[in-house]
Amino acid sequence: MNLNDYKKIYMIGVKGVGMTALAEIFNSRGKEVVGSDTEEKFFTDEILKKRGIKVYEGFNFANLEAEKPELIIYSTAYAENNLELAMAKNKNIPILSYPEALGLISKEGECIAVSGTHGKTTTTAMLGFVLAELGADPTVVVGSAVPQFGGNARVGKGRNIVVEADEYQNKFLHLDPLGIILTSVEYDHPDFFKTENDYILAFQDFIKKIPRDGFLTACFDDKKVEEISKDASCEIISYGLNNGEWQARLRQTTARQAKNIKLEGGETIFDVFKGNVSQGTFKTKLFGNHNVLNALAVVATASQLGYRLEDIKRALGGFLGTVRRFEIKGEIDGITIIDDYGHHPTEIRVTLKAAREKYPENRIWCIFHPHTFSRTKALLSDFIQSFDDADKIIVLDIYGSAREKIGEVHSRDIVEVLKKQGKDALYLGTIPEVVDFLSEEVKSGDVVITMGAGDVWRVGEGLLK
């Protein structure tokens, strides 16, 4: 199938971040794009509105009758029993799933796929931005909005196609990458991958897709990544803070400063080595050792693509981050509001650690919105260990996915165990309850971090209003 053959595309579930990115790409190519989704509001609504993309709220036979599309692309979140999808099948309209469509786009140039349990979004956006600054004019598909792109996609005319590669439902196996960045492998998505071994096998199958003349940029601080890399038949570029050919070496550190990685003037400054040879001092406007790793992956990959380190250094320093990744939403009455998408135990832990390094003397509130019943149940014991750097913790009701609405675990279970460990934890089920509570309790100097894959960001909006 050639996507260029279709002029009018209808997208079912168009508000999803990946679907919105595809809609932006097709819109930029001059195609007529129309979509449908639930009435629920997402940050992608603004992106679609800005692009002039018509969105039907609700799924209805009449939508397709009115639009008469040439091609249907659907989000896998709405694949089962969707009225519009059933009608499209009945009328023999060509149909692609989101991962199938992204896979076709990946074949249009030299695809670099960014994969791993953690860090995909930031690393994808950072690499795309750096390559754009270096003149490569890449096409980029990211799982969050990137203010410097004006959306969560960038449409370029260069040969590089940088995509965030989602392992869930084995979506990334539809991609055709020349190179892969593998940031981390830690068991997730237990609703689909029933065992940790199933999860690891998916990544093994993915890196086997790299051709012999391609490359794998792999974080060797992660032992599972190092082990999986043995299945690659291409060149391996290893990196890490403690292991790998490319390193940003850590020395003894205080809460505020490491000898080689330090916070200074709103930037993180770190030294990069290749082998034992210094490659210079680099800067990023992002915080946390996890973001130093993300930056190091970008430096190593851009170098592999033939760019000069001095040019990479300059480009990297200009990247401002993405929406919902340690995003400082604003300040009111001396209270700082930060929002983050982190919803896996490790993501929560490293984000709160970065917050503690940035705000060592401040009282930190973590407002956590658990995402999916299956993940919360499977990783409950890990979640309990993730909040050490928060002074106060509020847990909202679990945000179920489109595929699950109820489960065998409750947010109260998290709070109960946290309290037994001596944590200052509280269960408040809804966002309005949290906003009302915080409005009375927070004070000047406090830092409020909202965390989760759902709509917990509304807490920050409520406070700022």
Pair 176, 161: CB distance under 8 Å: no
Residue entry with tokens 């819109």 = 27
Residue 223, annotated ligand binder?
no
| Other beta carbons less than 10 A from residue 32's beta carbon | 16
Residue 423, annotated ligand binder?
no
Residue 377, annotated ligand binder?
no
Cα separation, 208 vs 219, whole angstroms = 17
Sign of the Cα pseudo-torsion (156, 161, 165, 169, in order): positive
Burial of 337 (0-12, 13-18, 19+ CB in 10 A): buried
Sorted by sequence, the CB contacts under 8 Å of residue 58 that are 6+ apart come out as: 36, 38, 39
Which of these, 414, 416, 408, lies nearest to 451 by C-alpha position? 414
Residue 38, annotated ligand binder?
no
Which of these, 425, 223, 461, 434, lies nearest to 332 by C-alpha position? 461
Pairing of strands 327-332, 335-340: antiparallel
Please, which contacts does 78-85 make with residues 24 or more away whose CB atoms are closer than 8 Å? Answer: 78/12, 78/13, 78/402, 82/12, 83/59, 84/10, 84/12, 84/36, 84/59, 84/60, 85/12
Which of these, 368, 413, 410, lies nearest to 390 by C-alpha position? 368
Residue 422, annotated ligand binder?
no
Sorted by sequence, the CB contacts under 8 Å of residue 261 that are 6+ apart come out as: 248, 250, 253, 268, 269, 270, 271, 289, 292
Cα separation, 280 vs 313, whole angstroms = 9
Binding-site members are: 116-122
Binding-site members for ATP are: 116-122
